[in-house]
Amino acid sequence: MFAINSRSYLLPNVVMRMLFIRKISSSSSYITEFQSLLGNENVQTNDLDSFNQDWLKSHRGKSDIVLFPRNTNDVSNILGYCNQNNLKCVIQSGNTSLVCGATPWQNEIIISMKKLNKILSFDEITGVLHCESGCILQNLEEFVKQKQRLIPYDLGAKGSCMIGGNLATNAGGLRFIKFGPLHSNVLGLEIVMANGKILNLMNSMRKDNTGYHLRHLFIGSEGTLGIITKVSIICPMDYKFKKIFLVACENFNKLIELFQMVQEDFNENLSCFEMMDESSMNVVVENLRLPYPLSRSYPFYSLFELSANDELSLDQRFTKHYEKLVNKSIILDGTYANDSDSEKFHKLKSYRESISEGLRLDGCSYKYDVSLPLNVYYEVVNVMRKRLSSSLSSSNNVVRICGYGHMGDGNMHFNVTSKKFDQQILNQIEPFLYEFVAKNNGSISAEHGIGVKKRKFLHYSKSDEAIKLMQQMKQLFDPKSILNPHVLF
Ligand code: FAD
Ligand code: 2HG
Ligand code: ZN
């Protein structure tokens, strides 16, 4: 379980053998130690496949132990012990990371957050929810829905991802355009630091200007600075009526015009604006066997949601708007659903939300999650298509090249798939794509984070000075680098 020392290959065999013997004996001693700290039922040492394997099935770690803390004190005791004994850990919530951030890269101890799953309090007047960090997003959503509130973000992975994982990655998702990043909605956190000390940053006040805003450091820090154990988050009032629209356009410029017109006509009623190209739609139609949602296949689609309290006025406004879109040939076809028709509503949403799942069925996904200005937003897909088709032969087995994403936030999910992993395909994409993004002042990770997979490309989005400062912060918070040691840097 000790991290492999990068210089260990220099050691003579005999020393290596001694280290190996020490490792075995100390491994069993720390298992015993964890069992006495947490109870046998909260220490798992077999059937660890699902904990070692990332969601994309692109890497398998070699950990032989998963710990299940039940509360903040357990987390504190675990980290206190790990820090003292220099044991490396990886923090795992829903394990939906798309950048290998939540699974061991080598043989780190896995700390699963799934037992910290209590809702602690909810203030009916302010909408402030306090909960433990292992609460599953969908459970929180259902809880606050009963109070006519909503969680200010929404992800396709909501059935398994947890609020702590969402905060650690500063997840974006479908409602970002309306409610902004988690930084604007999270009021407080409780953190267990690498040395086991508990840092209480819980707070229910919207306004608090007493010194550095420390909680923001942990949001998006991908588990490298501390473990989030509790959260305080604002849940805005839910709208009484929601409508979801799926419309088709002839080309990407029409999608831009549509985005502009929807904003002009609906302003604050717009709660999501997503796009997908034909190839992305085909993923769900072919791999998940959903029927085409419109009368035929089209080059581009947008899925957008409008929310309001006055249904009649929303309907009237949309009827006028729809006529305008058709008359100006902005859209070619379309359909919609009210949230009162829950089945159709969720079915329409699933054309967008289940693309990742569909892509996974192709085999291997080469996944890119970038921010780009709208004038080059889809250009990246065109450029990469051209590059891949001219450089690769049919033996490279590319199944699909597609682009979809949170267009309203300038966030493109560019994906290539092949039946199995092919280094030549990867070499054609990286670092070329990151160079394109940097040249256009975008970000190489709009929402999924850097994890392990993208750490060598961090410099495309951050200056040397910024990376150095981040490393100094890591050194300050976690001097022995026991928390997610392979993530980010
Ligand atoms: P995990 O995957 O378990 O962990 C993610 C990272 O956070 C890891 O580095 C982990 O070590 C760290 N971490 C986890 N819990 C804690 C904690 N309590 N304290 C400190 N560090 C912690 N992302 C988006 O932004 N927008 C989307 O729309 C979106 N959609 C997705 C759809 C699908 C189908 C899938 C598979 C993934 C999607 N993701 C999306 C990516 C993923 O980042 C999010 O699903 C989610 O935020 C991860 O939460 P999780 O609980 O699974 O965390
Ligand atoms: C989404 O928006 C997720 O669906 C996943 O961020 C994107 O799988 C992807 O590329
Ligand atoms: Zn996304």
Tell me, letter by letter, the H, E, C secondary structure of 284-307.
HHHHCCCCCCCCCCCCEEEEEEEE
Question: From ligand 3's centre to the CA of 226, what distance in Å?
Answer: 25
Enter the DSSP assignment of 238: P
Counting Cα atoms < 13 Å in the Cβ hemisphere of 88 gives: 20
Question: From ligand 1's centre to the CA of 305, what distance in Å?
Answer: 24
Other C-beta atoms closer than 10 Å to the C-beta of 486 total 20
Ranking 28-37, 136-145, 153-162, 466-475 by mean pLDDT, the lowest is 28-37
Does residue 22 have a pLDDT over 80?
Answer: no
Question: From ligand 3's centre to the CA of 406, what distance in Å?
Answer: 6
Question: From ligand 2's centre to the CA of 293, what distance in Å?
Answer: 20
258 lines ligand 1 (CB under 6 A): no
299 lines ligand 1 (CB under 6 A): no
Question: From ligand 2's centre to the CA of 186, what distance in Å?
Answer: 23
d(CA 361, CA 173): 22
pLDDT tens, residue by residue, 46-103: 999 999 999 999 999 999 999 999 999 999 999 999 999 999 999 999 999 999 999 9
pLDDT bracket for residue 8 (50, 70, 90): very low
Does residue 9 have a pLDDT over 70?
Answer: no
pTM: 0.94
Instruction: Give residues (CB < 6 A) around ligand 2.
Output: 98, 156, 355-356, 367, 369, 413, 415, 447
Question: From ligand 1's centre to the CA of 331, what distance in Å?
Answer: 34
Question: From ligand 3's centre to the CA of 300, what distance in Å?
Answer: 17
Average pLDDT over residues 439-458: 98
What 3-state DSSP class applies to 368? strand
Other C-beta atoms closer than 10 Å to the C-beta of 298 total 18
According to the model, what pLDDT value does residue 189 have? 98
According to the model, what pLDDT value does residue 338 have? 95
Give the atom of ligand 2 at the shortest distance from the alpha carbon of 174: 2
Tell me which residue has its CA closest to atom 25 in ligand 1. 171
The full DSSP string for 170-210 is: T---TTHHHH--GGGTEEEEEEEETTS-EEEE----S---S
Which ligand number lies closest to the CA of residue 90?
1
Encoded tokens for 252: 């990407």
Residues 6+ apart with CB under 8 A from 226: 191, 192, 193, 194, 199, 218, 477, 478, 483
104 lines ligand 1 (CB under 6 A): no
d(CA 48, CA 382): 41
d(CA 170, CA 447): 7
Cis peptide preceding 431, ω within 30 of 0: yes
Share of the chain above pLDDT 90, in %: 91
Domains of the chain from N-terminus onward:
2-112 (3.30.43.10), 119-234 (3.30.465.10), 241-355 (3.30.70.2190), 362-448 (3.30.70.2740)
**Do 252 and 266 contact (CB within 8 A), yes or no?**
no
pLDDT bracket for residue 418 (50, 70, 90): very high
Does residue 32 have a pLDDT over 80?
Answer: yes
Question: From ligand 3's centre to the CA of 219, what distance in Å?
Answer: 17
Does residue 304 have a pLDDT over 50?
Answer: yes
Share of the chain above pLDDT 70, in %: 95
380 lines ligand 1 (CB under 6 A): no
**Do 487 and 225 contact (CB within 8 A), yes or no?**
no
Which ligand number lies closest to the CA of residue 171?
1
Conformation bin of residue 280: beta by default, left when phi > 0, alpha when psi is -120 to 50: alpha
pLDDT bracket for residue 15 (50, 70, 90): very low
Question: From ligand 2's centre to the CA of 78, what distance in Å?
Answer: 33
98 lines ligand 1 (CB under 6 A): yes
Give the atom of ligand 1 at the shortest distance from the alpha carbon of 155: 28
DSSP H/E element including 308: strand 300-308
Does residue 286 have a pLDDT over 70?
Answer: yes
DSSP H/E element including 406: strand 398-406
Shortest CA distance to 91 belongs to which of 72, 73, 119, 68?
68
DSSP H/E element including 266: helix 252-266
pLDDT bracket for residue 430 (50, 70, 90): very high
d(CA 301, CA 251): 9
pLDDT tens, residue by residue, 99-118: 999 999 999 999 999 999 99
Query: What is the average pLDDT score of the chain?
Result: 94
Give the atom of ligand 2 at the shortest distance from the alpha carbon of 173: 2
According to the model, what pLDDT value does residue 26 have? 57
Going 72 to 76 to 77 to 78, the CA torsion angle's sign is: positive
pLDDT tens, residue by residue, 250-262: 999 999 999 999 9
Does residue 13 have a pLDDT over 70?
Answer: no
Question: From ligand 1's centre to the CA of 276, what distance in Å?
Answer: 22
Which ligand number lies closest to the CA of residue 169?
1
d(CA 300, CA 354): 17
**Residue that wins the pLDDT comparison between 25 and 462:** 462
Which ligand number lies closest to the CA of residue 91?
1
Does residue 10 have a pLDDT over 50?
Answer: no
Give the residue, out of 99, 275, 287, 356, with the most ligand 2 atoms within 8 A of its beta carbon, to mutate for a pocket test: 356
